């Protein structure tokens, strides 16, 4: 198979995977999902490292370093902020121990 065709195949399959994995997302999670997807494209950091580390032209290195800083903001900030949001979704469930549950029920009955 032609090299470009292999890449095209990966691309097309990824499109379907991308749509398929989020097709059942509830609107509750739209914001964290958008933010998480946003963090994932921060992987351009890898590309920025590769182009910067394989050249010795001064200007190119400088531009590459700028790209690295930008991409690192995207990637690291994106994952951290997504985690911060999702943490709140988990925290509020607060599974109370069963004994406390009983006590609450008891006091409710006493009222």
Partner 1 sequence: MTPTWVQLVYLACAVCFILALKGLSGPKTARTGNLIGAAGAVVAVAVPFFYKPNGVDHLHHVPLILGAIVIGAAGGVIGARRVQMTQMPQMVALFNGVGGGAAALVALLELREIIEAGGDPGWFVLVATAFTIFVGSVSFAGSVVTFAKLQELMTSAPVVFPGLALAFAVALLGGVGLSTQLVVDPTLWVGIVLGIVGLVFGLLLVLPVGGADVPIVISLLNAFTGLTVAAGGYVLGNVVLLVAGTLVGASGTFLTLLMARAMGRSVTNILFGALKGGSTLGGGVASDRPVKSAGPEDVAIMLAYADRVIIVPGYGLAVAQAQHSLRELVDLLGERGIEVDYAIHPVAGRMPGHMNVLLAEAQVPYEQLKEMDEINGEFKDADVVLVVGANDVVNPAAKTTPGAPIYGMPILNADEARQVVFMKRSMRPGFAGIENELLFEENTTLLFGDAKDSMGKLVNAVKAL
Q: How far is the CB of 90 from partner 1 (least distance, A)?
A: 6
> How would you label 19-57 residue by residue, b for 16+ Cβ within 10 Å and e otherwise?
eeeeeeeeeeeeebeebbebbeebeebeebeeebeeeee
Q: How far apart are CA 71 and CA 79, in angstroms?
A: 12
Is residue 96 at the binding interface for partner 1, with CB under 8 A as the rule? Answer: no
CB distance 36 to 83 below 8 Å? no
Is residue 26 at the binding interface for partner 1, with CB under 8 A as the rule? Answer: yes
Is residue 34 at the binding interface for partner 1, with CB under 8 A as the rule? Answer: yes
* DSSP class of 96: -
Using CB under 8 A as the binding criterion, the count of chain residues that bind partner 1 stands at 81
In the range 44-83, which residues lie near partner 1 by CB under 8 A? 44-57, 60-61, 63-83
Is residue 100 at the binding interface for partner 1, with CB under 8 A as the rule? Answer: no
Is residue 25 at the binding interface for partner 1, with CB under 8 A as the rule? Answer: yes
Q: How far is the CB of 36 from partner 1 (least distance, A)?
A: 5
Q: How far apart are CA 36 and CA 33, in angstroms?
A: 5
Is residue 4 at the binding interface for partner 1, with CB under 8 A as the rule? Answer: yes
Smaller CB separation from partner 1, 16 or 98: 16
């Amino acid at each position: 198979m032609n090299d470009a065709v292999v890449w095209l195949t990966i691309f097309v399959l990824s499109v379907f995977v991308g749509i398929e994995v989020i097709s059942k997302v509830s609107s509750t999670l739209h914001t964290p999902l958008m933010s998480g997807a946003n963090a994932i494209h921060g992987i351009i950091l890898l590309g920025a490292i590769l182009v910067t580390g394989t050249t010795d032209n001064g200007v190119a290195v400088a531009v590459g370093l700028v790209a690295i800083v930008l991409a690192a903001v995207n990637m690291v900030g994106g994952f951290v902020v997504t985690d911060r949001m999702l943490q709140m979704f988990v925290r509020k469930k607060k599974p109370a121990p069963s004994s406390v549950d009983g006590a609450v029920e008891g006091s409710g009955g006493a009222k």
